[in-house]
Amino acid sequence: MQPAPAATRRFNGFSPRALELLRELALNNNHSWFAAHRPELEQLLVRPSLALIEDLGPLLRSRLSAGIRAEPHVGGSLLRLRKDARFVRESPFRTHLELWFWEGRGRSSQHPGCFLRMTPDRLVLGGGITTFPTDMLARYRSAVDQPASGRELAALLHRLARRGWIAESPSRHRVPRPYGTDHARSDLLRRTGLKVERPEPLPEAAFDAELPALVASGLAQLKPLHLWLAQFG
C-alpha cells in the first residue's frame, strides 16, 4: 500500500508503543538494536512526526511568524535519530524525538527558530538559537548595547521567565570587548546563543490529534523573542 499523499496526511497522535520504543532505545543504544527495530521506528515514530510537522507548519506561520519553515522530512524539521558519527562514539542515537522549525535561508542551525522535544515522559517546547553565527553575534551584541532594543530584550525575557521559560544558552565567562564589565545588560552580552525552553509532563494530547494545536499555542508565547532575533538572522 502506498503512503497517503502529503496533502491528505494528518497527525492523529503517537501510540503508546512509540514511547516504549524510545525507552527501549535508551536501554539498547546500539546499531544492532536500531537495525532490528528500524521498520517499527519508521512506522510509529517517523511517520507520525512527519504528519505532525505538516500540521504544525501552517499553525506556526499563523501564530509565530509568516516566515517559519516547516520541512516534513528526516534531516529537515525532523532531526535524525542517528547522531553525527564524527562526534559520537558511545550512545550513537538520540533517545527522544525533536522537531525544529526555523526562519531564514541556508543551514537551519544558523537561524532562530522553535522546537519540540518529546521523551517518553516529557514534552519540551523551546525557541531561539543555540549558537550565534559570527556576523549575527556582532549584530546581537550591538542591539543589546543599544538602550531601546537592549531593554526590550531584557523585558521580554523577564516576562517569559515569569511564565516558566528557562534560558539555557551558553555564555562567556567575561563580558566581550569593547563593552564594560559594569554594562547594565552584561549577562546578555556574555551570551553566545539565546535559547529558552519549558519542560512539562507529557500531555494526553500526545496520543491524539490535539497535539499540534497545543504545541502551537505554547510556541506562540515565544513570538516576541523570535521576532526580536529574526531581525538579525
Q: Give 3's pLDDT tier (boundaries 50, 70, 90).
A: very low
Q: Is residue 110 part of a domain?
A: no
Contact predicate 195/129, CB 8 Å:
yes
Q: Is residue 74 part of a domain?
A: yes
Q: Is residue 5 part of a domain?
A: no
Provide the whole-model pTM: 0.90
Q: Between 134-145 and 147-162, two packed helices, what is the crossing angle to 10 degrees?
A: 100
Grid coordinates given for 12: 492523529
Residues of the domain holding 59: 10-104+116-230
pLDDT at 34: 95
Between 7 and 54, whose confidence is greater?
A: 54
Mean pLDDT of 28-49: 96
Average pLDDT over the chain, rounded to whole? 92
Q: Is residue 111 part of a domain?
A: no
pLDDT at 1: 33
Mean pLDDT of 192-220: 97
pLDDT at 7: 47
Q: Is residue 1 part of a domain?
A: no
Q: What is the pLDDT of residues 124-181, one digit of tens each?
A: 999 999 999 999 999 999 999 999 999 999 999 999 999 999 998 778 899 999 999 9
Query: How many other CB atoms sit within 10 Å of the CB of residue 196?
Result: 22
Q: Is residue 124 part of a domain?
A: yes
Give 7's Cβ-side CA count (13 Å radius): 0
Q: Is residue 147 part of a domain?
A: yes
Q: Is residue 132 part of a domain?
A: yes
Query: Can you give the CATH number for the domain in which 216 is found?
Result: 3.30.930
Domain count, the chain: 1
Q: What is the pLDDT of residues 57-90, one digit of tens each?
A: 999 999 999 999 999 999 999 999 987 655 556 7
> What percentage of the chain reaches a pLDDT higher than 70?
93
Mean pLDDT of 213-220: 98
Contact predicate 98/108, CB 8 Å:
no
pLDDT at 85: 58
